[in-house]
A and B are shown apart, each in its own frame.
Chain A
Amino acid sequence: MTITLSHFSAALVFATFASIVFGITHRDTTREMVRYGLYCFAMFLGGVIVAGWAMWLLRR
Chain B
Amino acid sequence: MANSTTEKAKLETSEPVSMMSVVAPALGWLIPGAGHIIQRRWIRGALLFVSIAALFLLGLAMQGRIYKANGGDILDMLGFVGDLGAGAFYIVTLTMDWGQGAIAFATADYGTKFMIVAGLLNFIAVADAYHIAIGKKQ
| Contact surface of A with B, Cβ cutoff 8 Å | 1-5, 10, 13-14, 16-18, 20-22, 24-25, 28-29
Contacts and interface: CB of A to CB of B under 8 A. Distances in A.
A21 B44 CA distance: 9
Interface string B64-77: 00000000000000
Contacts of B47: 20, 24
Label chain B's interface by main secondary structure: helix
A40 B137 CA distance: 21
B125 interface: yes
B2 to A, nearest CB: 37
Given A14-B55, A21-B51, A25-B124, A4 B137 contact: no
B26 interface: no
B88 interface: no
Nearest to B53: A17
A15 to B, nearest CB: 11
Contacts of B55: 13-14, 17-18
23 contacts: A2-B61, A2-B62, A2-B105, A3-B61, A4-B62, A4-B105, A5-B107, A5-B110, A10-B107, A13-B54, A13-B55, A13-B114, A17-B52, A18-B121, A20-B47, A20-B51, A21-B48, A21-B124, A22-B124, A24-B47, A24-B125, A25-B125, A29-B138
Chain B contact residues (Cβ within 8 angstroms of A): what range?
A: 20 to 34
Interface in B86-138: 105-107, 110, 114, 117, 121, 124-125, 127-128, 137-138
B28 to A, nearest CB: 11
Nearest to A3: B61
A25 B127 contact: yes
Given A1-B61, A28-B137, A21 B105 contact: no
B107 A21 contact: no
